[in-house]
């Protein structure tokens, strides 16, 4: 086993670095820049049962050390993802991909997951019960243990591949939700999605974002993410995928010490398009500095 | 798209709050006028998308208006290096211009018209440029367009210089085979109605990445959903859908 390898729900990753859903499209914008097969895998754009345009613009606001987005799950719908995006992706990415799924009802989640589960390119299903930018779905499933468990059970019943439930940080007790998902059969937990945030334009006195609020991401949220990954990893016996403001090889290792088996990189891809490749290339140097022989060995290695 | 380091060669004020920055570096990713660059600035998280005014093999000229923290910081720079993504967006399609295209720029929509005019003139086209500003003190680049060999009309809303009108009024006096434009959305919308021919318009929106990854700047068009940063910023007149 190589020094960077980790095992995520039974599938070997060459390294733990995974571009996060919504920051990497369906991969090919980045495939023009570098060989995306260098990645552990990536989580593709959140996919729903039907096509969605998403929210009105502006959808983006800048913050200190981060940004707010309110894209609202723009995607072509699961059928077009399967008929158009995945075949196009197959030409530039030859590893199992993480399929990110969102929905507005339990049936939606099951429907979309069942379809994507049959695709040979899909390695894991990352079920997003934490999108803050849609009404009547998304995050509302991830803020109550029973609702999150219900989605998990429904998805597990119609799929064969590992199910990773992506959780929201906008809750008072993240551990109870993670445990409810584990009890309902989840194969992994990923966290954190964005923190609900807001900016106001002083000149117009209106919210900067047309949808008023949006998801806050970027380096500013990294400490919140490390804390929540730590809390969840201490409480569950399934793999945890850590994310939230990760921007360097050091951040990846910190997340893994907190308990993450793999680490997603989100907002940083938008500002530094080569960041995931650069982190992977930098990991051996940082490992050497901190006398780490194997990344798999440091998962949850916090003292 | 290319990420590379550019050196600031000069940075000068053209008006009270509009600046021209000339940068030295690798411009090989820039393939058409109307494309933009995305600039990383110290202490600010998101890059700043700025349209390309002009470029040659190893220099890049941008003209920007100070509107926020990023452009404020840029206006104070004298020397140094900047991390820039180049070659972003589709740019204008020159192949459909006909013999006598008209170029209309409004305010900081004027800069991308410059390289466009230069390339059209190099192809032997007759180029008329209409530059629209609010008032005399805001005018820039009138001489530069004349020096290229364009017919130049300048309009001001308050009549303090040139023709007292909007660019749409000045357009009535011009005969043309095609139009290209960049400017504030109300101007684009007015031109959509006022133009007699087909044409291309450049749009702006708050962007996350600038290269098509985040879906932050999407818009609806008659030919489907488009990302202004990747599928635009230039749209054909026939595909534009005005939502309000």
- Residue B225 resides in a domain: no
Q: Is the pLDDT of residue B68 over 80?
A: yes
Report the distance separating Cα B155 and Cα B170, nearest Å. 7
- Residue B113 resides in a domain: yes
Is the complex ipTM higher than 0.85?
yes
Give the best residue of B214, B230, B243 to mutate against chain A (max A CB count within 10 A). Answer: B214
B117: alpha, beta or left, given left = phi > 0 and alpha = psi -120 to 50? alpha
State whether B81 and B99 are in the same domain. Answer: no
- Residue A150 resides in a domain: yes
Q: For the domain that residue A133 is a member of, what is the CATH number?
A: 3.20.20.70
**pLDDT of the residue at A130:** 84
User: Average pLDDT over chain B, rounded to whole?
Assistant: 96
State whether B70 and B106 are in the same domain. Answer: no
pLDDT in tens, A57-79: 999 999 999 999 999 999 999 99
**pLDDT of the residue at A141:** 86
Q: How confident is the model at residue B137 (pLDDT cuts 50, 70, 90)?
A: very high
Domain boundary among B40, B69, B88: B88
User: Average pLDDT over chain A, rounded to whole?
Assistant: 95
**pLDDT of the residue at B176:** 96
Residue B55 host element (H or E): strand B48-55
Single pTM value for the model = 0.94
Structural domain range at position A113: 6-298
Give the best residue of A20, A23, A24, A25 to mutate against chain B (max B CB count within 10 A). Answer: A25
Q: Is B109 helix (H, G, I), strand (E, B) or coil?
A: helix
State whether B42 and B105 are in the same domain. Answer: no
State whether B64 and B122 are in the same domain. Answer: no
**pLDDT of the residue at A131:** 75
- Residue A51 resides in a domain: yes
pLDDT in tens, A70-124: 999 999 999 999 999 999 999 999 999 999 999 999 999 999 999 999 999 999 9
Q: Which chain A positions have a beta carbon within 8 Å of B45's beta carbon?
A: 62-67, 218-219, 267, 271
Domain boundary among B88, B123, B155: B88
- Residue A303 resides in a domain: no
pLDDT in tens, B27-45: 999 999 999 999 999 999 9
Report the distance separating Cα B99 and Cα A137, nearest Å. 55
Query: Contact at 8 Å (CB) between B188 and A26?
Result: no
Domain count, chain B: 2
State whether B50 and B120 are in the same domain. Answer: no
Mean pLDDT confidence for B197-220: 95
Q: Is the pLDDT of residue A139 over 80?
A: no
Q: Is A270 within 8 Å of B214 when comparing Cβ atoms? A: yes
State whether B98 and B197 are in the same domain. Answer: yes
- Residue B132 resides in a domain: yes
Q: For the domain that residue B166 is a member of, what is the CATH number?
A: 3.40.50.80
- Residue A253 resides in a domain: yes
Q: Which chain A positions have a beta carbon within 8 Å of B85's beta carbon?
A: 273
Q: Which chain B positions have a beta carbon within 8 Å of A134's beta carbon?
A: none
Q: Is the pLDDT of residue B17 over 90?
A: yes
Q: Is the pLDDT of residue A140 over 90?
A: no
Query: Any catalytic annotation for residue A9?
Result: no
User: How many residues are given for chain A?
Assistant: 303
- Residue A1 resides in a domain: no
Domain count, chain A: 1
Q: How confident is the model at residue A135 (pLDDT cuts 50, 70, 90)?
A: low
Q: Is the pLDDT of residue B175 over 80?
A: yes
CA R_g for chain B:
17
Q: Does B42 touch chain A (CB under 8 A)?
A: no
pLDDT in tens, A155-191: 999 999 999 999 999 999 999 999 999 999 999 999 9
Report the distance separating Cα A114 and Cα A158, nearest Å. 5
Q: Chain A: residue nearest B224 by CA?
A: A53
Q: Is A62 within 8 Å of B44 when comparing Cβ atoms? A: yes
State whether B107 and B56 are in the same domain. Answer: no
Q: Is the pLDDT of residue A2 over 70?
A: no
Number of H helices, E strands in chain B: 5, 15
- Residue A211 resides in a domain: yes
Closest Cα in chain B, distance from residue A32 (Å): 8
- Residue B222 resides in a domain: no
Domain boundary among B202, B219, B237: B202
Q: Is the pLDDT of residue B65 over 70?
A: yes
| Signed CA dihedral, A78, A81, A82, A83: sign only | positive
* Residue B235 CB contacts under 8 Å (≥ 6 apart), including other chains: B200, B201, B202, B203, B221, B226
State whether B98 and B185 are in the same domain. Answer: yes
Catalytic residue chosen out of the listed positions A9, A113, A131, A181: A131
Q: Chain B: residue nearest A27 by CA?
A: B213
Structural domain range at position B56: 2-88
B197: alpha, beta or left, given left = phi > 0 and alpha = psi -120 to 50? beta
- Residue A127 resides in a domain: yes
State whether B50 and B81 are in the same domain. Answer: yes
Mean pLDDT confidence for B172-197: 95
Exposed / middle / buried, residue A19 (Cβ in 10 Å: 0-12, 13-18, 19+): buried
**pLDDT of the residue at B244:** 62
Exposed / middle / buried, residue B194 (Cβ in 10 Å: 0-12, 13-18, 19+): middle
Indicate the pairing of strand B59-65 with strand B18-24.
antiparallel
- Lowest mean pLDDT, pick from A36-40, A43-47, A136-140, A274-278: A136-140
pLDDT in tens, B78-103: 999 999 999 999 999 999 999 999 99
Q: Is the pLDDT of residue A1 over 60?
A: no
Report the distance separating Cα A87 and Cα A83, nearest Å. 7
Q: How confident is the model at residue B243 (pLDDT cuts 50, 70, 90)?
A: confident
pLDDT in tens, A210-225: 999 999 999 999 999 9
- Residue A53 resides in a domain: yes
Q: How confident is the model at residue A138 (pLDDT cuts 50, 70, 90)?
A: low
Question: The tokens 């090889």 sit on which residue?
Answer: A249
């Amino acid at each position: 086993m190589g020094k960077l390898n980790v095992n995520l729900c039974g599938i070997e990753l060459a390294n733990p670095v995974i571009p996060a859903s919504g920051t990497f499209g369906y991969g090919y914008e980045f495939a023009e820049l570098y060989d995306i097969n260098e990645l552990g895998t990536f989580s593709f754009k959140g996919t729903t049962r039907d096509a969605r345009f998403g929210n009105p613009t502006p959808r983006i606001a800048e913050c200190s050390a981060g940004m707010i987005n309110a894209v609202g799950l723009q995607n072509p719908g699961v059928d077009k993802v399967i008929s158009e995006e995945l075949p196009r992706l197959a030409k530039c990415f030859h590893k199992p991909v993480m399929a990110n799924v969102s929905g507005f009802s339990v049936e939606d989640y099951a429907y979309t997951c069942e379809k994507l589960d049959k695709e040979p390119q899909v390695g894991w299903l990352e079920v997003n019960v934490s999108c803050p930018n849609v009404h009547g779905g998304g995050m509302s499933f991830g803020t109550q243990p029973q609702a999150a468990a219900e989605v998990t059970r429904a998805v597990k019943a119609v799929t064969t591949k590992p199910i990773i439930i992506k959780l929201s940080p906008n809750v008072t007790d993240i551990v109870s939700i993670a445990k409810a998902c584990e009890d309902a059969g989840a194969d992994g937990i990923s966290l954190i999605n964005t923190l609900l945030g807001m900016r106001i334009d002083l000149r117009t006195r209106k919210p900067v974002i047309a949808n008023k609020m949006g998801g806050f991401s970027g380096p500013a949220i990294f400490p919140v993410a490390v804390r929540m990954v730590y809390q969840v990893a201490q409480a569950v016996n399934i793999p945890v995928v850590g994310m939230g403001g990760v921007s360097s090889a050091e951040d990846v290792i910190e997340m893994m010490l907190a308990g993450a088996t793999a680490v997603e990189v989100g907002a940083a891809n938008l500002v530094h398009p080569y960041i995931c490749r650069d982190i992977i290339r930098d990991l051996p140097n940082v490992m050497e500095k901190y006398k780490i022989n194997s990344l798999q060995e440091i998962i949850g290695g916090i003292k | 798209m290319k990420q590379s380091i550019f050196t600031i060669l000069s940075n000068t004020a053209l008006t009270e709050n509009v600046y021209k920055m000339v940068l030295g570096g690798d411009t090989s990713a820039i393939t058409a006028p109307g494309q933009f660059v995305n600039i990383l600035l110290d202490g600010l998280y998101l890059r700043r998308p700025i349209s390309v005014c002009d470029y040659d093999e190893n220099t890049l000229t941008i003209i920007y208006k100070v509107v926020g923290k990023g452009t404020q910081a840029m206006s104070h720079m004298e020397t140094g290096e900047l991390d820039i993504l180049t070659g972003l967006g589709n740019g204008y399609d020159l192949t459909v211009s006909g013999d006598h295209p008209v170029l209309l720029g409004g305010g900081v929509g004027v800069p991308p018209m410059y390289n466009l005019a230069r390339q059209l003139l190099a192809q032997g086209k007759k180029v008329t440029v209409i530059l629209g500003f609010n008032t005399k003190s805001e005018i820039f680049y009138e001489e530069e367009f004349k020096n290229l060999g364009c017919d130049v009309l300048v309009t001001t809303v308050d009549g303090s210089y040139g023709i007292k009108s909007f660019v749409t009024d000045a357009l009535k006096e011009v005969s043309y085979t095609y139009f290209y434009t960049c400017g504030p959305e109300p101007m684009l919308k007015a031109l959509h109605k006022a133009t007699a021919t087909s044409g291309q318009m450049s749009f702006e929106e708050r962007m996350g990445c600038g290269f098509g990854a985040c879906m932050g700047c999407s818009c609806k068009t008659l030919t489907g959903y488009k990302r202004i940063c990747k599928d635009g910023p230039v749209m054909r007149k026939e595909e534009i859908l005005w939502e309000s």
